[in-house]
Amino acid sequence: MRVAVVCASQYGATMGIAERISAELGLAGLDVRVYDAARPPHAEDVAGYDAFVVGSAVYMGHWLKDATTFVRRSQPTLLEHRVWLFSSGPLGPETTDADGADVRESTVPAEIADFTNTLRPVGHRVFFGAIDPEALSLGHRVIRKFPGAAGKIPAGDFRDWPEIEAWAREIARALVKTA
């Protein structure tokens, strides 16, 4: 069974998640290929896959444009297959916010409601992300210093690898069961 993992990543943290998911799916015996959504697969390549895992980094509450463009452009193909979505966003060591809400639920990006309606994905997960302040563009450095952003974009790698791998194994189990 062939699986395409398509990922939009500005600085590499989300691509790292995509690669880890791909490695787990490969360990389960699936034939996996990772694509950068900035250089997405051609329509004919996409047509050859049995399942899709599509992910994006989240900036200002939204998926990166390359990922949304891939989803919208490939919608006819995606609709015929099982699709899992993931987002890499929240930063910091806390999994709950000041109101006690799970950060992974309060940071679901804007596009997901629409994609849930149109694609009917098997699931969507938010994973904690990572940033290296030295690598940020000037624009992102400025946003990070806005008074309203104070402390909300802390530096560091908060990716939870066991959580990511467990999710990938769930996907593998679902696919292998029906292969």
Ligand X SMILES: Cc1cc2nc3c(=O)[nH]c(=O)nc-3n(C[C@H](O)[C@H](O)[C@H](O)COP(=O)(O)O)c2cc1C
Residues near 117 by beta carbon (within 8 Å), at least 6 away in sequence: none
Q: How far is the CB of 168 from ligand X (least distance, A)?
A: 17
Kindly indicate which of the ranges 8-16, 28-36, 44-52, 168-176 contains the residues binding ligand X, using the contact rule CB under 6 A: 8-16
The helix, strand and coil proportions of the chain, stated in percent and rounded to the nearest 5, come to 45, 25, 35
Q: Based on the shown chain and the rule CB under 6 A, indicate whether residue 98 belongs to the binding site for ligand X.
A: no
Q: How far is the CB of 135 from ligand X (least distance, A)?
A: 8
Q: Is 160 exposed, middle or buried (0-12, 13-18, 19+ CB in 10 A)?
A: middle
Helix H or strand E segment including 83: strand 82-88
Q: Based on the shown chain and the rule CB under 6 A, indicate whether residue 6 belongs to the binding site for ligand X.
A: no
- Of the candidates 59, 75, 92, 97, which one interacts with ligand X according to CB under 6 A? 59
Which residue ranges make up the site for ligand X (CB under 6 A)?
Answer: 9-15, 57-61, 88-91, 107, 129-131, 136, 140, 143-144, 153
